[in-house]
């Protein structure tokens, strides 16, 4: 399931963390429009979305686990996929994914 608005408080927190560059979760570049010599990575795929043909953007995934502070058990997870304009740093096309 994919949606564009956070549905829980944890998803709201994860979205703010992702957009602020927080290190609480795991941030990973998954797709890139231009693979330069320093970005050669087997895990990064070319970005083939026709809407983005003329833009220099990269796609990222932010993953965050939330645990109960008392029991330390996992209570929620948030996966957020979004695009960053590599020239301006603007974040857009934010999507939440449930796996």
More confident residue, 38 or 68: 68
E strands in the chain: 2-3, 26-32, 45-46, 57-67, 74-85, 91-97
The structural domains of the chain, with segments of one domain joined by +, span 2-97
What is the pLDDT, as a whole number, of residue 98? 76
Per-residue pLDDT tens over the stretch 27-65: 665 544 444 334 555 566 777 778 877 888 888 888 888
Q: Give the count of alpha carbons within 13 A of 22, CB side only.
A: 13
The pLDDT of residue 13 is above 50 = yes
Instruction: Give the bridge partners for 3, in sequence order.
Output: 96
pTM confidence score = 0.70
pLDDT at position 68 is 92
């Amino acid at each position: 399931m994919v949606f564009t608005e956070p549905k829980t408080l944890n998803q709201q927190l994860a979205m703010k963390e992702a957009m602020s560059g927080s290190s609480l979760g795991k941030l990973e570049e998954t797709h890139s429009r231009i693979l330069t010599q320093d970005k050669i990575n087997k895990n990064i795929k070319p970005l083939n979305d026709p809407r983005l043909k003329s833009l220099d953007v990269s796609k990222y995934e932010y993953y965050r686990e939330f645990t109960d502070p008392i029991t330390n058990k996992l209570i929620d997870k948030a996966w957020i996929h979004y695009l960053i304009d590599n020239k301006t740093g603007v974040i857009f096309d934010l999507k939440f994914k449930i796996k």
